[in-house]
C-alpha cells in the first residue's frame, strides 16, 4: 500500500490534476468488458500545508450496473483511524442543495434499451477530510470505498507533521498518554438480549492461526414480523493494544475500574474475567437507504495475556440480536454489513429484511 496507487497518480496530482491518468487506466477494462471499482488517495498529507484531502474514484461498469447502483446515492467511504482503531463512514458524494438527501430511498431504473451490456465509466473526486470530518492532525487513515456489495482495495493515508521543530518531551508525553491503560466497558452489555461473548457451536470459524481477521454470520433472509431474534455472530483473531489489556489483579488498576464493575457480578457466578478488549465497528449500507449505519462494539478476549502482549493476536467471539441495533429493523431492505477493526475488514454479509 506504500507504492504508487492504482491510478498511478503522484500525491500532488490529487490537488492539481486527479483525472490525468483516467483514459489510460480505464481503457483496458473497457476493451475487456471488465468491471472495476478503483479508489486512490495521496500517500502522505501535511495538515499544516493542506486544507483538503482529495481522493479519486474511477468506476468502470456496464450501463446495467451503473443504473442499478447509482454512485451518488449508493457509494459510501469508510476510514479507520489506525492509532485509535476508530471508524468513520459517510455517503461518498455530498448531495447538492438540488439533490435529495442520501437518507431518502434509492431510486434506480433500467438502462436505456439496447445498452444494458455496453460499458461506461465515471469518475469522482471525494474530499475525505470533509466527508468523514477527520481530525486534522498527524496519524494514519485506512480508507475504502464501498458501493453496496462492491469494495475497493484499501488505501493507507499518512497525515504527517510539517518539517520544523518537534519538541521531544511533548511527543514523549503524547505517546505515553495514548499508551496509558484505558479499557472501555463491553458493548453491548453482556446481560443484553441474546448477547454472548463465548464461542459455541454456532459461532463462525476463527480466522486461520497466525493470521488476523474477522468472520461473520447471520440469517440470509429475516422476517421483521417474526417473533424471534435475528442472531448476528462473529469470531476474530486480532491484534490487541497494550492499553486495552486488563491486568489480572484482585483490585482494579487505574483505567480498568469500569470494566471490573461491569463484569464483577458475572465473575462471582463463575464466568472468566476478560483479559482484554477489542473494538469492532459494524457498518451497514442498505439497498433502499445507503446512508451508513454505524454500530460500535467492544468485545472481550479471554486469551492469556500479560503487559508485554502489545500487538499480540488474540481470539474471541460475539453474538447479539441484530434487532437491538438502532436502525436495523426500521425498513424492508437488503443490508450489506461490514465489520472493521484496525486494518482488518469482513464482509459484505448480506441480510435481506422482509415481512411474512
Q: H/E/C letters for each residue in the chain?
A: CCCCCCCCCCCCHHHHCCCCCHHHHHHHHHHCCCCEEEEECCCEECCCCCCCCEEEEEEEEEHHHHHHCCHHHHEEEEEEECCCCEEEEEECCCCCCCCCCCCCCCCCCCCCCCCCCCEEEEEEEEEHHHHHCCCCCCEEEEEEEEECCEECCCEEEEECCCCCCCCHHHHHHHHHHHHCCCCCCCECCCCCCCCECCCCCCCCCCCCCCCCEEEEECCCEEECCCCCCCEEEEEEEEECCHHHECCCCCCCCCCCHHHHHHHHHHHHCCCCCCCEEEEEEEEEEECCCCCCEEEEEEEEECCCCCCCCCCCEEEEEEEEEHHHCCCCCCCCCEEEEEEEECCEEEEEEEEEEECC
Please give the grid coordinates belonging to residue 188.
453491548
Please give the grid coordinates belonging to residue 237.
483473531
**Per-residue pLDDT for 189 more than 90?**
yes
Most confident of 96-110, 231-245, 307-321: 231-245
Contact at 8 Å (CB) between 300 and 276?
Answer: yes
pLDDT the model gives residue 29 = 95
pLDDT the model gives residue 111 = 55
Give the pLDDT band (50/70/90) at residue 97: low
Query: What value does the mean pLDDT take over residues 195-212?
Result: 94
**Per-residue pLDDT for 200 more than 70?**
yes
Q: Collect all residues with Cβ–Cβ distance below 8 Å to 71 and sequence separation of at least 6.
A: 57, 59, 92, 93, 122, 124, 147
Q: Could you give the percent of the chain with pLDDT greater than 90?
A: 69
Give the pLDDT band (50/70/90) at residue 51: very high
Query: What value does the mean pLDDT take over residues 308-328?
Result: 91
- Taking the C-alpha atoms of residue 56 and residue 54, their distance in angstroms, rounded to an integer, is 7
**Per-residue pLDDT for 179 more than 70?**
no
Query: What value does the mean pLDDT take over residues 343-354?
Result: 95
Give the pLDDT band (50/70/90) at residue 115: low
Q: What does each C-alpha distance from 65 to 30, 37, 108, 285, 304 come to in angstroms?
A: 14, 12, 10, 17, 48
- Lowest mean pLDDT: which of 229-238, 251-260, 321-330? 251-260
Around Cβ 31, how many Cβ atoms within 10 Å?
9
**Per-residue pLDDT for 104 more than 60?**
no
Give the pLDDT band (50/70/90) at residue 114: low
Give the pLDDT band (50/70/90) at residue 100: very low
pLDDT the model gives residue 180 = 72
Sheet architecture: strand order including 36-40: 36-40, 54-62, 119-127
> Phi, psi at residue 282, to the nearest 5°?
-95, 135
pLDDT the model gives residue 164 = 59
Query: What value does the mean pLDDT take over residues 147-173?
Result: 83
Contact at 8 Å (CB) between 300 and 186?
Answer: yes
- Taking the C-alpha atoms of residue 306 and residue 245, their distance in angstroms, rounded to an integer, is 8
Q: Collect all residues with Cβ–Cβ distance below 8 Å to 146 and sequence separation of at least 6.
A: 75, 76, 77, 78, 152, 285, 336, 338
pLDDT the model gives residue 169 = 74
**Per-residue pLDDT for 99 more than 90?**
no
Query: What value does the mean pLDDT take over residues 301-307?
Result: 87
**Per-residue pLDDT for 33 more than 60?**
yes
Q: What does each C-alpha distance from 313 to 206, 213, 323 come to in angstroms?
A: 12, 10, 30
Q: Closest Cα partner for 85 from 18, 141, 168? A: 141
Query: What value does the mean pLDDT take over residues 25-33?
Result: 94
**pTM listed for this prediction:** 0.89
**Per-residue pLDDT for 196 more than 60?**
yes
Is the model more confident about 285 or about 104?
A: 285
Query: What value does the mean pLDDT take over residues 204-211?
Result: 93
Please give the grid coordinates belonging to residue 241.
493494544
Please give the grid coordinates belonging to residue 207.
480466522
Most confident of 51-60, 188-197, 304-313: 51-60
Contact at 8 Å (CB) between 87 and 283?
Answer: yes
pLDDT the model gives residue 126 = 96
Is the model more confident about 330 or about 309?
A: 330
Per the prediction, the chain carries an average pLDDT of: 89
Give strand pairing partners of 278. Answer: 299
Amino acid at each position: 500500500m506504500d507504492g504508487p496507487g492504482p491510478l498511478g497518480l503522484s500525491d500532488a496530482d490529487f490537488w492539481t490534476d486527479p483525472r490525468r491518468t483516467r483514459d489510460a487506466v480505464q481503457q483496458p477494462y473497457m476493451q475487456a468488458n471488465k468491471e472495476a471499482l478503483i479508489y486512490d488517495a495521496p500517500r502522505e498529507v501535511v495538515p499544516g500545508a493542506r486544507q483538503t484531502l482529495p481522493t479519486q474514484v474511477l468506476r468502470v461498469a456496464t450501463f446495467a450496473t451503473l443504473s442499478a447502483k447509482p454512485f451518488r446515492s449508493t457509494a459510501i467511504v469508510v476510514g479507520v483511524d489506525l492509532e485509535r482503531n476508530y471508524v468513520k463512514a459517510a455517503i461518498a458524494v455530498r448531495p447538492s442543495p438540488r439533490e435529495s438527501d442520501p437518507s431518502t430511498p434509492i431510486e434506480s431504473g433500467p438502462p436505456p434499451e439496447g445498452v444494458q451490456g455496453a460499458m461506461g465509466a465515471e469518475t469522482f473526486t471525494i474530499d475525505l477530510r470533509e466527508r468523514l470530518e477527520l481530525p486534522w492532525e498527524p496519524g494514519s487513515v485506512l480508507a475504502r470505498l464501498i458501493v453496496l456489495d462492491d469494495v475497493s482495495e484499501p488505501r493507507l493515508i499518512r497525515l504527517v507533521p510539517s518539517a520544523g521543530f518537534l519538541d521531544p518531551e511533548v511527543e514523549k508525553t503524547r505517546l505515553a498518554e495514548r499508551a496509558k491503560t484505558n479499557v472501555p466497558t463491553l458493548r453491548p452489555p453482556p446481560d443484553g438480549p441474546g448477547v454472548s461473548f463465548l464461542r459455541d457451536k454456532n459461532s463462525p470459524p476463527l480466522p486461520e492461526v497466525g493470521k488476523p481477521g474477522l468472520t461473520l454470520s447471520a440469517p440470509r433472509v429475516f422476517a421483521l414480523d417474526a417473533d424471534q431474534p435475528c442472531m448476528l455472530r462473529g469470531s476474530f483473531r486480532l491484534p490487541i493494544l497494550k492499553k486495552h489489556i486488563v491486568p489480572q489483579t484482585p483490585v482494579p488498576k487505574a483505567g480498568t475500574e469500569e470494566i471490573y464493575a461491569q463484569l464483577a457480578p458475572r465473575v462471582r457466578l463463575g464466568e472468566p474475567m476478560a483479559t482484554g478488549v477489542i473494538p469492532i465497528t459494524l457498518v451497514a449500507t442498505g439497498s433502499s437507504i445507503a446512508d451508513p449505519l454505524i454500530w460500535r462494539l467492544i468485545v472481550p478476549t479471554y486469551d492469556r495475556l500479560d503487559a508485554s502482549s502489545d500487538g499480540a493476536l488474540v481470539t474471541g467471539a460475539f453474538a447479539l440480536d441484530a434487532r437491538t441495533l438502532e436502525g436495523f429493523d426500521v425498513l424492508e431492505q437488503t443490508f450489506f454489513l461490514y465489520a472493521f477493526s484496525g486494518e482488518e475488514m469482513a464482509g459484505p454479509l448480506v441480510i435481506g429484511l422482509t415481512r411474512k
